[in-house]
Amino acid sequence: GALRRDEQDDVFNFDEYAQATWRFTDAWSLTAGVRHSSVRFSSLDHYITTDNPDDSGNVEYTATTPVAGLMFRASDWAHLYASYGQGFETPTFSELSYRADGGPGLAFNLLPSRSHNVEAGIKLQPTDRIRVNAALYRANSRDEIAVAAAANGRTTYQNIGKSRREGAEASLSARLRDDLDLDFAYTLVNATFRSPFQSCGTSGCTTIPAGSRIPGVPKTDLYSSLRWRFAPDWSADINGNYVSSVPVDDGDTDSAPPYFVLGIGVDWTR
């Protein structure tokens, strides 16, 4: 096809952070940190004609994000914790490629998504052979980047009001025998848009209601493996991974079906 774009795109990222841990009693400790992020996108346009002016430009996103966590040592084998942190996620060059209003140049008007995240959990190691972790979490975001329009092979993006990801995680690692290990992991996540917004396609525009699931995020992910060390340097394992249905559009009207993957392997390690 005819040449429509010719540009040099560069992205530069510079981060500084500091972190400290204070164990103020034998049972309690506090970890706190702060990160400053600076991400700069720049585009040098080489496709300049009478009908297409110079669309060169740049944008810089900055943020200072704190995090803090509190750990309680209930015993030598049981630790409880709670944490809070803020997040910062910039658009990608793919999302900046086209402006939602149809104007020339990159979509430098897109804002980064910012989040407030909380988590609480427990870590257990009742014996040298068993470790158990469990956690509950929630992440509330604003200015989530979502599809504004997708038509004729071109996708543009927009910032929407609010979104939320919340759920639970659990894992188990157990040495059943000296030659046999079991691993198990489970994730439950409910990822939804919390603000309504409008998304357009070839058949027109649709209002996406609050509560719709965020596409690409399965609700359930379950993994387990069993590893057997049957000879020096040799081991075999069998593992399975189940993933629930995955929504494929912003309107939560269709989804990819759930699937299960079974794996069998033999390893030699020297």
pTM for the model stands at 0.87
Quick one: CA dihedral 203, 205, 208, 213, positive or negative? positive
Q: Are 232 and 217 in contact (CB under 8 A)?
A: no
- Mean pLDDT for 56-69 is 96
Residue closest to 143 by CA, chosen among 98, 89, 94, 102: 89
What pairing do the DSSP bridges indicate for beta strands 28-45 and 246-247?
Answer: unpaired
pLDDT tens column, 142-199: 999 999 998 877 899 999 999 999 999 999 999 999 999 999 999 999 999 999 999 8
b/e burial code for range 127-155 (CB count within 10 A of at least 16 → b): eeeebbbebebebbbbbbbbbbbbeeeeb
| 136 vs 178: CA distance, rounded Å | 32
Please tell me whether residue 113 adopts helix, strand or coil conformation.
strand
pLDDT tens column, 117-133: 999 999 999 999 999 99
26's tokens: 């034998």
Distance of CA 106 to the CA centre of its chain: 24
The conformation of residue 94, written as its DSSP 8-state character, comes to H
Which residues, including other chains, have CB under 8 Å from residue 1's CB and lie 6 or more apart?
A: none
Which pLDDT belongs to residue 103?
82
| 91 vs 192: CA distance, rounded Å | 19
Which pLDDT belongs to residue 105?
84
Which residues, including other chains, have CB under 8 Å from residue 129's CB and lie 6 or more apart?
A: 174, 175, 176
